[in-house]
Amino acid sequence: MQRKLSKPVVYCIFCLLLIQLQVFAQTGGIPTGTDTSCSNGISFYQKVFGGNKDDYGFYLAPTLDSGYVVGGRTLSYGNGGYDGLLMKVNKKGTVSWSKAFGGSGFDYFQAVIRTSDNGFLGIGQTKSYGNTAGDAWLVKTDASGNLQWSKKYGDGNVNGDIGFDVVEISEGGYVFCGTHRYTAGLAEGFVVRTDNSGNVIWSRQYGNGGSDQLWGITEDGGSVVVAGFYQNGSNYDSYVMKLDKLNGNIQWMRGYDGENRSTQFYRIRKNGSGFQVLGLVMDGFNTVNQQNFVWNLQADGTVQNVRKMVIPGTQNLDFGWYPRADGGFITVNGEYTSNSDLYISNVNPDGSLAWSKKFVRPGQQFINNVMPLLEGGYAAVGYNNTPGGSPLDSNEVYVVRFDSLGNAGNCSGINTTDVTVLAASNSTPTPDVVSLGNVTINNPVISAGSVSFIPISNTLCYYCHENINVVVPPDSLCSNGISFYQKVFGGNKDDYGF
């Protein structure tokens, strides 16, 4: 019996969501409509948070709801002196919760990460519990900022210890880096591995007898890779070390020098098959003629290229930077003056500028960190001091939210040609840094104070980019869509597909 073939029917369905998202990303010039709560849109803003004393934001940990947690320090709230600050801000820029951790001494967080259980881990230094010179400090919270554990790390030396950066590793637990004996001429690089509860597995120090510090860390397979700098005559040179996660043994080490000037590596992240590093280059040991350099390294530490960010003025003291997998990066630069502006730039892998925006505000702005958000775009955090501003005339946590093109509606910066990216000369000296053995950690468990508070906030500008209904024209050929169908194929006898 001959089977009669049915006529194929093809349905073409357009991906409305994709089209809407593409329009969403193009924020310039679209007016805000009736969605005053921005419940269906994306919020862009510049905001400050704080109290009547100094408050600083140093780092951002993006959250699953496209908000973020700020890590830093507060003098306005807490238990006296500076306390470590963790503040959850939702995607609309509203504070969900804010906590001050610490005691009567000087306590603060240099960085914060979101952990695999959706909690948070702050790293920094405490001077409230034991050693008044300071101990490296980890504070673990749940997703709501409630304290789960707090531990300090140091051997009680008179110069103190400090933690600068931390990574959660794939085996579970954490590895952090910082400085042991935190004083000029004696400082040594410091790396500690802990379990999930902060208990020490190993702790090591590295140095050359001068001033050595380790500021950045990232995971790479069975290893961690750390970046920092060491004293080399009248300048600092930088170095990157790959360490075995099992015991902290050195697997390889490379040295770096930019323009035969003092070179200090501050952050390192995995970047495709290699690494990208943020460093500062300056004249001598001070911040004279300081500039941001971004280094792309191969997997073995070999230099691929070095990008030098040049802005008006002589001292660029902003640390804002986010590496992209293709070798490009987002960077924030600003001159160190009492009335500084921000330059936010997107640099292509070949070193050309994709775009650069100048954000002009009265007073001093300083950005410490940039992170991408799950909703799209970026958030940058630092501090702002606007004379006569609100909160009172003091340093406040400052957050800028912008899209992937540097736009933010009426909060956008202006296009600028003030920023130049140059290929920087560099050399690779051989570091004389060695492993100096273990560091004995004394009494790590502490009961840190925790105070909940609601900071004063002030919106400097706000823009809601609304979700726009897109009218899709008919596409009878489905040339711009995705086809879904049921079809049969065959001839005048039986045919089967198995």
8: Cβ–Cβ under 8 A, 6 or more apart, which residues? 485, 487
Q: In this predicted structure, what is the pLDDT of residue 484? A: 65
Distance of alpha carbon 244 from alpha carbon 206, whole angstroms: 14
Distance of alpha carbon 236 from alpha carbon 282, whole angstroms: 9
Distance of alpha carbon 240 from alpha carbon 262, whole angstroms: 16
- Report whether 335 contacts 313 (CB < 8 A): yes
- Given CA atoms 155, 161, 167, 168 in this order, what sign does their dihedral have? positive
Distance of alpha carbon 495 from alpha carbon 487, whole angstroms: 14
- Report whether 242 contacts 223 (CB < 8 A): yes
Q: In this predicted structure, what is the pLDDT of residue 314? A: 66
Distance of alpha carbon 248 from alpha carbon 193, whole angstroms: 8
Write out the two tokens for 65: 């709801």
Q: Mark residue 297 as left, alpha or beta (left: phi above 0; alpha: psi -120 to 50; beta: remaining).
A: beta
Write out the two tokens for 140: 């673990």
Q: What is the pLDDT along the chain (498 residues), one digit of tens a residue?
A: 444 434 443 333 333 333 333 333 333 333 334 456 788 889 999 999 999 999 999 999 999 998 999 999 999 999 989 999 999 999 999 999 999 999 999 999 999 999 999 999 999 999 999 899 999 999 999 999 999 999 999 999 999 999 999 999 999 999 999 999 999 889 999 999 999 999 999 999 999 988 899 999 999 999 999 999 999 888 999 999 999 999 999 999 999 999 999 999 999 999 988 999 999 999 887 777 888 999 999 999 999 999 999 988 767 777 899 999 999 999 998 887 778 889 999 999 999 999 999 998 888 889 999 999 888 899 999 999 876 565 656 899 999 999 999 999 999 999 999 999 999 999 999 999 999 999 999 889 999 999 999 999 999 999 998 865 444 445 445 655 566 667 777 777 777 777
198: Cβ–Cβ under 8 A, 6 or more apart, which residues? 138, 140, 149, 151, 174, 444
Q: Whole-prediction pTM value? A: 0.86
- Report whether 8 contacts 478 (CB < 8 A): no
Task: Please report, for the chain, how many H helices and E strands are present, in that order.
Answer: 1, 36
Question: In terms of Cα–Cα distance, which of 59, 82, 41, 66 is closest to 394?
Answer: 82
- Report whether 361 contacts 341 (CB < 8 A): yes
